[in-house]
Chains A and B, each alone.
Chain A
């Protein structure tokens, strides 16, 4: 089984039946996870995407290379401007958002802005998109990376683009990688599960800080039927393009 499918399932499991979720650009795994959740355990979930679409029909959906591709708005029920979704977030009604992280620290804070100093960056990254705005105000923040490594899991971010765990705030922070699933809580960066064929040692070796390791489970994998759903939504395998060959 490809790691992409394991990550999609793990993302989907964070989505509840009464949730409103948004995905942004460059988000093939979240787009599929939202479909998978809605087609299985969360049929009433509200699905909004960066193509300004509401509940895109899974039957006519085909995952495209740009997350804003107009085909992701095929048979949408409404045009929901991103500003409207941001208004939902300001009212506390947007449950969750998925964001990447070029760097992630032990609080689940993320850097998407630059490597090195802001005013003379070594690498100018594409930018934080909605991270700074949404990370402090959503109820469920799901951070993902397909590059579980010391370069991503750093002790100190070069730039704080988005906020992870914040004490006293009702916010569930999940970090999903190509190796494992973490929850960031007051106890720290807690390793919840490791994907099949991954060891706890590998997970820890590839991080610059130590996660909390207590009761580690194996990440549940998608069933045969769920895999069929994913395959049908993404027949071209766009979901694999984030992974190094």
Chain B
């Protein structure tokens, strides 16, 4: 095991302009917001963001003009409303977008983690998404070689980089996601490079005592960053709940056309 603990400025160098990037969490839970801020600070460009159901992490990266393309099953702020920067960027054709569906994108991430070129997925046939993805080259209707029935083949997803915020990690990269994992373990195992940000850096003894809590073992991981409150204002289970007021403030400023001001303050403030 090598010491992978680095400063955030060093870790962000693992991301190249134009990379496909997936981020941990869902909606307002365990998004790697602290690292997102570093991506913006570093001025990364033309990223291809991929996730099942992200939220503020994707929207603010779009607002900061770091994004070329987005592939999601859903991107919004639930009861608070639409993701305004995502919406505007798509409607003004500033970014490309590919709508996915949860069952396909999660299976594609798992296939990526399994080393499989594609996965067959039930459902979906008959919806308009099929044509969009056949054009894109991400899905294809095939015949089940055993029964002859039509079924959808979904190409595996192996992102260039996965950034996963976890509760605990050691300096070697052994990482523990507590509570809901979503697809984060598959994202890490399928990505070409993995960056872990962690609320706490623990001694390796912690994993020796509780090996079942090691959800992403060290050999998958390229960099570990100690980042308390690294998911804020989204939640980090067992550490903090989502700060709905802060998320509302972000949306209010987006509505008033002051998102640049929000980002500037957010970068200067550091949590």
Q: Which residues of A contact B (CB under 8 A)?
A: 24-26, 28, 50-53, 64-71, 73, 79, 81-83, 86, 89-90, 112-113, 118, 120-137, 159-163, 166, 238, 241-242
Q: Does B99 contact A (CB under 8 A)?
A: yes
Distance from B80 Cβ to chain A, minimum over Cβ atoms (Å): 7
Cβ–Cβ contact B106 & A128, under 8 A? no
A52, A125, A136: the one within 8 Å of B82 (CB)? A125
Contact pattern, B 70-105, Cβ under 8 Å of A = 1, otherwise 0: 001111101110110011001101000101011110
Cβ–Cβ contact A90 & B122, under 8 A? yes
A53, A69, A127, A162: the one within 8 Å of B72 (CB)? A127
Cβ–Cβ contact A73 & B180, under 8 A? yes
A67, A89, A121, A126: the one within 8 Å of B91 (CB)? A121
A64 and B91 alpha carbons, distance in the complex (Å): 31
Cβ–Cβ contact A121 & B90, under 8 A? yes
Known contacts: A26-B78, A68-B26. The answer to whether A89 contacts B103 by CB under 8 A is yes
B53, B123, B180: the one within 8 Å of A70 (CB)? B180
Closest chain B residue to A71, Cβ basis: B241
Q: Which residues of B contact A (CB under 8 A)?
A: 26-29, 52-53, 72-76, 78-80, 82-83, 86-87, 90-91, 93, 97, 99, 101-104, 106-107, 110, 121-129, 132, 179-183, 186, 235, 237-238, 241-242, 244
What are 30 contact pairs spanning A and B, CB under 8 A? A24-B102, A25-B26, A25-B27, A25-B53, A25-B78, A65-B78, A66-B79, A66-B235, A66-B244, A70-B238, A70-B241, A79-B179, A81-B180, A90-B123, A112-B74, A113-B129, A118-B128, A121-B90, A123-B91, A125-B82, A126-B82, A127-B72, A127-B76, A131-B101, A132-B124, A133-B123, A135-B123, A135-B127, A163-B127, A242-B79
Chain A positions within 8 Å of B241 at CB level: 64, 69-71
Chain B positions within 8 Å of A25 at CB level: 26-27, 53, 74, 76, 78
Known contacts: A26-B76, A51-B29, A90-B122. The answer to whether A127 contacts B179 by CB under 8 A is no
Known contacts: A26-B79, A70-B29. The answer to whether A128 contacts B99 by CB under 8 A is yes
* Interface residues of A, dominant DSSP: loop
Number of residue pairs A-B, CB distance < 8 angstroms: 177
Chain B positions within 8 Å of A136 at CB level: 122-127
A184 and B97 alpha carbons, distance in the complex (Å): 32
What are the nearest 3 A-B pairs in CB distance?
Answer: A133-B103, A126-B76, A52-B180
Closest chain A residue to B127, Cβ basis: A132
Cβ–Cβ contact B82 & A53, under 8 A? no
Cβ–Cβ contact B123 & A134, under 8 A? yes
Known contacts: A70-B241, A83-B183. The answer to whether A123 contacts B104 by CB under 8 A is no
Chain A positions within 8 Å of B82 at CB level: 124-126
